[in-house]
Structure 1
Amino acid sequence: MGYLKYKGYTGSVEYSEEDKCLFGKVQGMAKDSITYEGSTVEELTKDFEEAIDDYLALCEEKGIEPRKPYSGVLNVRLTPEIHSGAAIAAQKEGITINAFIKNAVARALGMVL
């Protein structure tokens, strides 16, 4: 599966063999479903961008804040051993456990903070 990106939103790229078309859905928008489709990648990209623009315009028209795809808040369940190890490692680095986990995830994704 591929992805499209536009104005901070990420959308999936999938293919429907039955309908013979490309389609997708904006990721991380559990409460607001934004979908799009097209026969070509160009059509799909255009419909994706138009769907985002329409969503943002509707939010502005209604005077509401557009939902962000991901809030940045994530609850992670760890084993007690991993939790303890992360706490000790964070303390050794002089940072919070949250900062330690954020840095570890960013490194795993090849991101630089």
Structure 2
Amino acid sequence: MTVMHYKGYEGVVDYDEEAEIFHGEVINLRDVITFQGTSVSELKQALADSVEDYLAYCRERGEEPEKPFSGHFVVRAEPALHRAMFSAAKRAGMSLNKWVTSTLERAVSR
């Protein structure tokens, strides 16, 4: 899997051997943006065109386009887990936010 970027949007690309075409999807937002091409230059242009089409569509509808993830999210945890995470963060000399972030970074880099 290959990752491409355009204006903060992140697309992943796969190859369909049977159709002999590359296809991609923007993954860092909830809305669906797809693109395809038969070469690297076509893929780059298709990603840019698809993102620009998405932004134009949102403008036409008078809606704010969904931005790539902001870095803010809410996690709901059982009170006992919340307490245990808070204690672990304090023992590590970190804020709860920093402790959760560093724990998640370690988990996704495995």
TM-score range, shorter chain: 0.7 to 0.9
1:37 corresponds in structure 2 to 36
Alignment of 1:16-55 (within 5 A): 16-30=16-30, 32-55=31-54
Whichever residue aligns with residue 75 of structure 1, its letter is V
Separation in 2, partners of 1:41, 1:82 = 46
Measured in 2, the distance between the counterparts of 1:74 and 1:81 equals: 15
Go from structure 1 to structure 2 and tell me whether the alpha carbon gap of 1:10 and 1:87 turns closer, same or farther (over 3 Å shift). Answer: same
Distance (Å, rounded) in 2 between the aligned partners of 1:74 and 1:4: 27
Counterpart of 1:36, as a letter, is F
- 2:104 corresponds to which residue? 105
Structure 1: 5+ residue runs without aligned partners? none
Report the Cα offset of residue 74 of structure 1. 5.1
Distance, in Å, in 2 between the alignment partners of 1:33 and 1:66 is: 12
Tell me the matched-pair count: 106
Q: What are the Cα deviations for residues 18-43 of structure 1, in whole angstroms up to 9, with x where unaligned? A: 2101110110333x211100010110
Gaps of 5+ in 2: none
Flag the 1:76–1:54 CA change in 2: closer, same or farther, 3 A: same
Letter in 2 for 1:37: Q
For the residue of structure 2 that corresponds to 1:61, the secondary structure is helix
CA distance in 1, matches of 2:82, 2:62: 44
Q: Which amino acid aligns with 1:39?
A: T
Using the size of structure 1 for normalisation, the TM-score is: 0.74
Alignment of 1:62-81 (within 5 A): 62-71=61-70, 72-73=72-73, 75=75
Instruction: For residue 63 of structure 1, report the CA deviation from its aligned partner.
Output: 1.7
Aligned-residue CA RMSD (Å):
2.7
Residues 59-84 of structure 1, C-alpha deviations (whole Å, 9 max, x = no match): 12222111123353153769x67961
1:7 aligned partner, one-letter code: K
Task: Give the C-alpha shift of residue 102 in structure 1.
Answer: 1.5
Identity of aligned residues (%): 34
